[in-house]
Amino acid sequence: MIKVVTYLFIFVFCLIGRARAELTIYDSPRAQIIADNIKVVKNGILLGENSGSTLFNGLYIDTEGNLNFQPKILGNLKITDMVEDENYYYATSFNTYNGQQGLFKISKDFKSYTNIGIKATLRKVAQFKNKVYVGGTVHGCYVVNKDGTGLTQILGDGYYGPHIDDIKTNSNDVFVLSRGNIYKFDYQTNIKTQIYYGVRPSFIEVDDEKIYSISGNRFQIYNFKTGISTNERYFPNQVTFFKKYKNFFFVAETNTSTTTFWFSNDNGVNFYKSTTTVPSVYQVRNIEAIGEKDLTLYFNFNYYGSFKGKLVFDFNEPKIFEVPFNFKNSNDLYDKITSYFDHRFPYLGNLIEETEFSKTTLNFLGKELPEPYLYYSSHDGIDFGLPLNAPIYAVESGEASYFYQEGGLGNTIMISHPNGYITLYGHLSSEDLVTKSKTTVIKNQKIGKVGMSGNTNGPHLHFTTYKGSKILNNKVDPFGWFGSFTDPWSSQSAYLWKIKPEKLNYQLNLSRANQINVGTISIINNLNISSVPTNLTINKIPPIFDFKNYLYKENTSYQFGISNFLNEAQGIENIVRLKFNGFDSYADEKIYSIWKIENNTFEKQESTFDPYSKSLNTLSNLNGDYFVLKNNFQKISTKSNFKTN
């Protein structure tokens, strides 16, 4: 069998520009079951087998995410499509077995099913509110209530009807694609309206405002309100697959030898071509996705089974900044942060913020963090905790100037860069400044060293970025915005660093993986028992600690998230052991400790020290942020949010 080509760290190209993404299709694990469709559901992944023989077939499920499917129900029926609601699965079949055919309503535990609706050869199913819509090959489109009553043919005449290519829904209506014709059906009355499109699409996707279509190699967007088709794009070859997932589009276009993948992360405004290809005999039947930015993909190929993959989008503007200080690895860029840019009110004394937000800071991870010690409200830059007299470098070439701000940034170098950005470097020492007036600097040139000038209680670098002119509203976060909701700051922040701190994403199945090693940490299945399969996400994050009372140990700050296949958070209580590695000596047992932050509450974790592996061990459910601190035995401030055990 021809293997799927696998590429790591792939560059992709936009139809109108350049961008970067990473796409991987794994050759293993894979499922070699012939299927018309796979579908991500709350409890795992459904697969409907549709092989040439009736000895197998039926509905399968994989609860682990590794394409290890187990047969569940409807054996000997060729399953063509599946969908779920809160209580049931709905599946359509191609053939007849023991007098059963058509649409099946299946309990979530797979213990019972009911044959409802028309008994005919069906190929598409969609559920909407309290109805189920199905489409056949020669029977048109039918709708039936979920309790099995009210069967109605909404497209076709009598038993026969047109071939149904797809059925889509938005929050108001149902859309049926039949041989290039698009029909919109009113949910209440079943009255249909034909949408005259100018072309005959072979694929459609819909939302509440638009229809997105593919006709041959042409992509088009149709606006319901204006009736105008816009944003027309042409792919090099015939499009053989088109799918919408949230704001993402997945496209496969095929020539005589090769299938190439294209992607959009902005509802089709731009498309990006991947150099990842598969042989054209691998006909894409479906692509299912899980995630927000870093997507886990499941590819269903005709006759070749299903494969797992990963797509990481990184479409911010080009990376332009070098790191302004000496560093050992990319994670130092995070590790050295001691105060964030406040995405809600980055005013720093220019304006008075609303009272309800005056004691919190919203960072680029979307976390609302409490004052007073580390994340002070209205902070307009990033503070890096660096040693006194550490050299500071220009992040990019430009025109440098100097100013001194009493009671503020002290000795400050400002650089205006040709790309339109302005950077400030505050609290510098008065010695070794690159200029006390104006001069030209080049990227990576030393411009000064860390001091304690201005308003500061310790040596550090204050780094502020402006996009455009140096005015209040142009302040931006060079780390961008990674929150799950819209950035409330009016100016658009972007990730501007040329290096990318390590982002770690692991899928953890405790029944199979007893230990995962990630840099300085290990996650261990402490009881060696099976559990509900989960997705474990590990992100390297900036340290969260009380810097006045505790010293942080570098590269020991991580954010853990446990979720199911729909990214719904869940915990694993008392069966996982978290282990921090790489300490210096047995004495570290007494001076280092593991802390957790969750819901703005800091809590010291019980831990033990292993002198042989030089590691700290603790039991945890792995939801929240964990970091290691060295206690310098100072009295904890009354303003601190830490609580000791």
Write the CATH number for 623: 2.60.220
Total number of domains constituting the chain: 3
Burial class (CB in 10 A: 0-12, 13-18, 19+), 596: buried
Inform me whether the pLDDT recorded for 476 exceeds 50.
Answer: yes
Overall average pLDDT of the 192-219 stretch: 91
Same domain, 438 and 392: yes
Token representation of residue 446 = 């030393």
Same domain, 294 and 391: no
Overall average pLDDT of the 489-502 stretch: 81
Identify which of 4-8, 74-78, 293-297, 530-534 has the greatest average pLDDT.
Answer: 74-78
DSSP letter assigned to residue 357: G
In a domain, 325, yes or no: no
Same domain, 539 and 406: no
Same domain, 193 and 46: yes
In a domain, 600, yes or no: yes
For the chain, give the percent of residues with pLDDT over 70: 84
More confident of the two residues 543 and 153? 153
Per-residue pLDDT of 386-421, as tens digits, reads 999 999 999 999 999 999 999 899 999 999 998 889
Flag the least confident range among 56-60, 573-577, 636-640.
636-640
| Residue 10's pLDDT band (cuts 50, 70, 90) | very low
What lies within 8 Å, CB to CB, of 612 at 6+ separation is none
Inform me whether the pLDDT recorded for 349 exceeds 50.
Answer: yes
Overall average pLDDT of the 303-310 stretch: 88
Residue 470: count of CB within 10 angstroms of its CB: 12
Inform me whether the pLDDT recorded for 320 exceeds 70.
Answer: yes
Closest by Cα among 590, 585, 577 to 629: 590
SS3 591: helix
Burial class (CB in 10 A: 0-12, 13-18, 19+), 588: buried
More confident of the two residues 160 and 256? 256
Token representation of residue 230 = 């816009």
Per-residue pLDDT of 34-49, as tens digits, reads 888 899 999 899 999 9
In a domain, 486, yes or no: no
Give me the pLDDT at residue 412, please: 98
Identify which of 315-319, 497-501, 543-547 has the greatest average pLDDT.
Answer: 497-501
Per-residue pLDDT of 545-561, as tens digits, reads 666 667 788 888 888 87
Closest by Cα among 415, 417, 421, 422 to 392: 415
In a domain, 639, yes or no: yes
Residue 491 has φ and ψ, to the nearest 5°, of -85, 145
Residue 622 has φ and ψ, to the nearest 5°, of 65, 25
Residue 306 and residue 61 in contact, taking contact as beta carbons nearer than 8 Å: no
**Residues counted in the chain:** 645
Give me the pLDDT at residue 511, please: 55
Inform me whether the pLDDT recorded for 375 exceeds 60.
Answer: no
Same domain, 102 and 241: yes
Residue 415 sits at the vertex; the CA angle it makes with 409 and 416, to the nearest 5 degrees, is 130
| Residue 644's pLDDT band (cuts 50, 70, 90) | very low
| Residue 642's pLDDT band (cuts 50, 70, 90) | very low
Residue 91 and residue 79 in contact, taking contact as beta carbons nearer than 8 Å: yes
Helices (H) then strands (E): counts for the chain:
2, 53
Instruction: Compute the distance between CA of residue 316 and CA of residue 296 in angstroms, rounded to an integer.
Output: 20
> How far does Cα 428 stand from its chain's mean position?
38
Overall average pLDDT of the 244-265 stretch: 92
Instruction: Compute the distance between CA of residue 304 and CA of residue 30 in angstroms, rounded to an integer.
Output: 9
CATH code assigned at 449 = 2.70.70.10
CATH code assigned at 179 = 2.130.10.10
Amino acid in the structure at residue 425: Y
Residue 332 has φ and ψ, to the nearest 5°, of -60, -30
Per-residue pLDDT of 583-618, as tens digits, reads 876 666 667 888 887 766 778 888 888 888 888 888
In a domain, 547, yes or no: yes
Give me the pLDDT at residue 588, please: 63
Give me the pLDDT at residue 174, please: 96
On whether the pTM is more than 0.75, the answer is no
Residue 357 has φ and ψ, to the nearest 5°, of -110, 10
Give me the pLDDT at residue 367, please: 81
In a domain, 250, yes or no: yes
Residue 203: count of CB within 10 angstroms of its CB: 20
Overall average pLDDT of the 360-379 stretch: 74
> What is 25-42 written as a DSSP string?
EEEEEEE---EEEEEEET
Same domain, 266 and 121: yes
Residue 513 has φ and ψ, to the nearest 5°, of -100, 110
Same domain, 275 and 417: no
Instruction: Compute the distance between CA of residue 441 and CA of residue 530 in angstroms, rounded to an integer.
Output: 59
SS3 356: helix
What lies within 8 Å, CB to CB, of 565 at 6+ separation is 40, 41, 42, 43, 44, 45, 65, 290, 535
Same domain, 509 and 468: no
Same domain, 180 and 47: yes
More confident of the two residues 207 and 269? 207
Last residue of a domain, one of 460, 476, 492: 476
In a domain, 495, yes or no: no
Inform me whether the pLDDT recorded for 288 exceeds 60.
Answer: yes
Four-residue CA torsion sign, 354, 361, 451, 402: negative
More confident of the two residues 269 and 52? 269
Overall average pLDDT of the 134-153 stretch: 95
Per-residue pLDDT of 149-193, as tens digits, reads 999 999 998 878 999 999 999 999 999 999 999 999 999 999 999
Closest by Cα among 154, 150, 107 to 134: 154
Four-residue CA torsion sign, 343, 349, 352, 356: positive
Overall average pLDDT of the 246-270 stretch: 89
Same domain, 342 and 309: no
Per-residue pLDDT of 430-445, as tens digits, reads 999 999 999 999 999 9
Give me the pLDDT at residue 133, please: 98
What average pLDDT is seen over the chain?
83
Residue 202 and residue 239 in contact, taking contact as beta carbons nearer than 8 Å: yes
Give me the pLDDT at residue 627, please: 87
Same domain, 336 and 293: no
Inform me whether the pLDDT recorded for 451 exceeds 80.
Answer: yes
Closest by Cα among 168, 162, 201 to 185: 168
Per-residue pLDDT of 615-630, as tens digits, reads 888 877 777 888 888 8
Sheet holding 210-215, edge to edge: 203-206, 210-215, 218-223, 229-234
Strand partners, 48: 37, 59
Same domain, 197 and 67: yes
Quote the strand ranges of 32-130, DSSP E.
35-41, 44-49, 58-62, 70-73, 79-84, 88-93, 103-107, 113-116, 122-128
631: containing domain: 503-643
Overall average pLDDT of the 63-80 stretch: 90
Identify which of 25-34, 45-54, 67-76, 607-616 has the greatest average pLDDT.
Answer: 67-76
In a domain, 339, yes or no: yes
Inform me whether the pLDDT recorded for 243 exceeds 90.
Answer: yes
Identify which of 81-95, 228-242, 575-589 has the greatest average pLDDT.
Answer: 81-95
Inform me whether the pLDDT recorded for 507 exceeds 70.
Answer: no
Token representation of residue 375 = 């994340």
Overall average pLDDT of the 96-107 stretch: 93
Overall average pLDDT of the 481-499 stretch: 82
